[in-house]
Structure 1
């Protein structure tokens, strides 16, 4: 894996998100109430809504456009909704967020 520093954990509000822009599109980085962090594509597969503007609850996010709910852990739609958003490996080291760039590079090369 190839890890890239994308910022400080404290830059993301609890139960909030920030967006990082990549060549393949935007990635939403979420922080939950229990300080877990997750990275998903910022685009809902239903209507393209910005998931980074959704409501974070537990380890889920609700799309702001049509209330689809996605697992932050797997990217899978929850309940009656069907779909999935790509997820990205993310870790915290000494208060810094690191994302695995290898998946981003693989997608932009395709």
Structure 2
């Protein structure tokens, strides 16, 4: 993990909320669940491109604020009758600090 970059602290993100990380290729949404689990996904709904970071977090899912599509935060897969997927990115939490690998940050909008 020596080449991973610190992108913030868990305490920077409200429970059941999100913050965005700007990368050279796009935004990545970093989510914190009510159970303090941290997930990173692209901040663009697979349906109409809505900002997922502005969606409602419930359990380990987020609902897009535009058309109510629901995505699993772990797999990025659309849930229910909807079909589609958003990219997910690995994160690690050490002593309350959130880390991502630089190479994954560069994949955000490919």
When the two structures are superposed, what TM-score results if normalisation uses the length of structure 1? 0.93
Distance across 1 between alignment mates of 2:55 and 2:101: 23
Query: Displacement, 1:93?
Result: 0.6
Q: Distance in 2 between matches of 1:74 and 1:100?
A: 18
Q: Which ranges of structure 1 fall in alignment gaps of 5 or more residues?
A: none
Q: Which runs of 5+ in 2 are unaligned?
A: none
TM-score, with structure 2 as normaliser:
0.93
Range with bigger deviation, 57-66 or 93-102: 93-102
Q: CA deviation at 1:104?
A: 2.5
Tell me which residue corresponds to 1:84: 85
* 1:5-20 equivalences in 2 (<5 Å): 5-20=6-21
Is 1:61 the equivalent of 2:62?
yes
Instruction: Tell me how far 1:23 sits from its aligned partner.
Output: 0.9
Compare the two structures and name the one with the higher helix fraction. 1
> What is the aligned residue count?
108
Task: Report runs of 4+ in structure 1 exceeding 4 Å deviation.
Answer: none
Task: Give the match for residue 98 of structure 2.
Answer: 97
Tell me whether 1:34 sits opposite 2:35 in the alignment: yes
Q: Give the CA deviation at 1:87.
A: 0.4
